[in-house]
Amino acid sequence: MQLTLTGHHVEVTPALRAYFEKKLERVSRHFDQVIDIHSVLTVEKLMHRAEATLTVSGATIHADATDGDMYAAIDALVDKLDRRVARHRDKRNDHHAAEAPRGRQD
């Protein structure tokens, strides 16, 4: 998994990067086929915004979150990503493969 973390009007400190990577472990624990993550952390006046685009096998998943604190915005972002990755994983599984074909029984 390749992580690209950039800041817009904010410096990405090693502590912020470590916090972001620690939170993203939860997403990779639920779905191990994440190929690439591009994330942008932005500060606009008093609002902190975190957004991320995940490239997984078969799809691209995007989420963003806004809060008054950057760490809270990262937490909300990871919650959204986790839900969307879980939904993608469930859609990929073929739920009808185990069913027997319905035929005429005499």
Each of the 106 residues of the chain gets a pLDDT tens digit; together they read 788 999 999 999 999 999 999 998 888 887 777 788 999 999 998 999 999 999 888 789 999 999 999 999 999 999 999 999 888 888 877 666 656 566 666 5
Q: Is 89 exposed, middle or buried (0-12, 13-18, 19+ CB in 10 A)?
A: middle
Total-model pTM: 0.82
Fold of 2-92: Double Stranded RNA Binding Domain (3.30.160)
Among 84, 88, 13, which Cα is nearest to 52's?
A: 84
d(CA 43, CA 69): 10
CB 52 within 8 A of CB 77: yes
